[in-house]
Chain A
Amino acid sequence: MDAPPKAGTPRRPRRSPARLVRTAAWLALLVVLLALPLYLDAAWLKAGQYMMIGAVGAIGLTLVVGQAGQLSLAHAFFLLAGGTAYTVLSGPTGDDRVVGFGLDPGLSLLGAVAVAALLGLAFAPVAGRLRGIYLGVASLALVFLGLYFGQSAEELTGGTSTGRAPAPFSLFGFPFTDEGPAISLLGVPIRQAERMWYLFLLLTVLAFVIARGAVRGRVGRSWRAVRDNEAAAAVMGVSVLRAKAGAFAVSSAYGGLAGAMTVLWFDILKPDESEYGTYGINVSIAYLAMVIIGGLGSVPGALVGALIVNGLPQVLALYSADLGWFAGTGDGTLTPILVSSFVYGAAIILVVLFEPGGLATLGRRLTRLRRQPPEEP
């Protein structure tokens, strides 16, 4: 992943009070997120982890779609690629049914990110030549290739009927399961749910910080220049092909990380039987929905989008038990997933119609209303 280059001191706006307030708000949010495992039970932590998967994936997608202006419907493919790579790299050696390399899970996670990034890079020659909708449909091809790969490469994916279990995550020998040293914090035992929460939170924060750095630095500027006008960007000395390929690879890397997290979350890698599944078109569209709802190109917006799109079905499912919703069974009943599909479908329409900048613009407008006069030009 590209770190922001250290060429000269980056121009930063002066530390205005509003900026300090914003930094304080982010820190407060982080503290709350760190404290939550002490108060929530495992089911809610699981739901929160799912939102964080969405956040990581959506941040990656917003970079390529919003910042670099390349429509990608391939995100589900990179999830599958990352998930498979993690499972294969960390899988046990000597299993005659499936391939495994028996690597350390932490290393495998890095490997999954690298594999997804390389696959994204391999698609770059195509991505570089195409624009807009043509690229969108071309990238859809990857989802279909992923479907076929999942069905046919059973030694890697375990096949559509059974799938295969990923190695439980551990870092430098410390297991993220209920095993290992018993830890407790303020009387709360830190077991699998809590440990995974902290792992996912760490990954999400890293993903967020790196993306913000990229967006604010030279890399982000080159992406936006290419998005706004390729010819003009080329004239100004931006290598258009490199910028496009870079954006695609970075976004794929994020997709791969989200995929590895998905496999860990489900505790199984199970490729889809049809194009509507865990790694299907619907997932690509759900990630696109997060990015659109959040406001194309906005990294914090992607977080909020993920909260809505990935969070809603989880939260509804948890609440429905208490409220007696979705109690019906059989044909034509509403499910949490269905309801949230309606909600995010409607949200996309409303955003495009009334606030093309998404929730990010809405948020910016609201904060601007509170502090007069406006400080941004």
Chain B
Amino acid sequence: MNTFLQLVVNGLGKGAVFALLALGFVIIFKATEVVNFAHGSLVLFGGYLVVVTRDALGWVGASLVGIVSAGLLGLLLERLLLSRSWHADANSLALLTIGVDVIVTEEIVRRLGVTLPFLGDAWDAKPFRLGGITLFRTHLVALVVAAVLITAFWLAFKYSNWGVAMRAQAENREAAALMGIRSSRVTATAWLVAGLLAGVAVLFIATQDFSGAGLSRGTHSIALAAFPAAILGGLDSTAGAVVGGLVVGIVEALSAQYVSFDFSKSAVFLVMLVVLVVRPSGLFGTRERTRV
């Protein structure tokens, strides 16, 4: 029973990080209906800047730089590429982000070479015990940070002007524009926020506790697990992103223990497939209705 509890706790810790990433997907999707395949490269980019600036700025400074630059890269992508292709539909833009992802990821992986730095100096690899359960600090910090950020986001989404604008745009883009909502501003901030969340997430992913590996191509593939998280929650549901993230974390932890480590990556996708077969737009996603 203790093992099980332990696994669930670990899964929640990982799941919190997946939730941050999945929330990024969902914010972008809500604002623009574009699925951002470049999310993994935002993660890598933030992590890479942490590595580059760490010697000069120390861990805190470097982490801030990393988070902000991941956000700015998101913003830049939106401003330079996506906002200029208004004639293209959302699906083509999703394909465009694949192109971005290939370039950014390959370049960063090339720059990293064989050095695979760990990022979570502040808390990494200092597990402590609590009533028979070993807790990783990375997971605990991740849970707290994710809880704070997600609550903050949810409050902003619910009560701030930005949140109202965002919800209006998600509801009906044209009507929102007619009511005076600056759609380009909403879109740009959505990408910024998603990038910031990715920048936070990488601080946890490239650690000993989380993946056992430093910043590498593997970080990008871990970020890919946020895809099933966002999809199984429902691409246009913020609550779904959080639930999806936690489900993915727990499924991964349980299947790695009870089946095999190799299987855990596919287990996440299998669970997603099962959910999709039953509910084609995810657990909390809006059903698409066709009118003829």
Q: Name A's B-contacting residues (CB within 8 A).
A: 71, 125-126, 129-134, 136-138, 140-141, 144-145, 147-148, 151-152, 230-232, 235, 274-276, 281, 285, 288-289, 292, 330-334, 338, 341-342, 344-349, 352-353, 356
Contact = CB atoms under 8 A, between A and B. Distances in A.
Given A131-B288, A338-B110, A344-B102, A144 B269 contact: yes
Nearest to A129: B280
B266 interface: yes
Contacts of B111: 332
B103 A341 contact: yes
A144 B99 contact: no
Interface residues of B, number: 52
Contacts, number: 139
A341 B101 CA distance: 10
Contact of B96 (A231, A276, A281, A352): A352
Contacts of B93: 352
B227 interface: yes
B84 interface: yes
Task: Give me the 7 closest cross-chain CB pairs, A-B, nearest first.
Answer: A331-B113, A348-B99, A141-B269, A345-B102, A345-B103, A352-B96, A349-B99
A344 B95 CA distance: 12
Contacts of B265: 144, 147-148, 275
B270 A145 contact: yes
B281 interface: yes
A354 to B, nearest CB: 9
Interface of B: 35, 81, 84-85, 87-88, 91-96, 98-103, 106-107, 110-111, 113-115, 217-218, 221, 224, 227-228, 231, 235, 260, 262-263, 265-266, 268-270, 272-273, 276-277, 280-282, 288, 290-292
B185 to A, nearest CB: 22
Contact of B262 (A126, A130, A151, A285): A151
A348 B95 contact: yes
A140 B227 contact: yes
A297 B92 CA distance: 13
A112 B94 CA distance: 32
A231 B228 contact: no
B102 A137 contact: no
Given A137-B272, A144-B265, A274 B218 contact: yes
Given A133-B235, A345-B102, A356-B92, A152 B281 contact: no
Contacts of B102: 285, 289, 341-342, 344-345, 348
Contact of A349 (B87, B100, B292): B100
A347 B276 contact: no
A22 B280 CA distance: 44
B290 A148 contact: no
B96 A348 contact: yes
A335 to B, nearest CB: 9
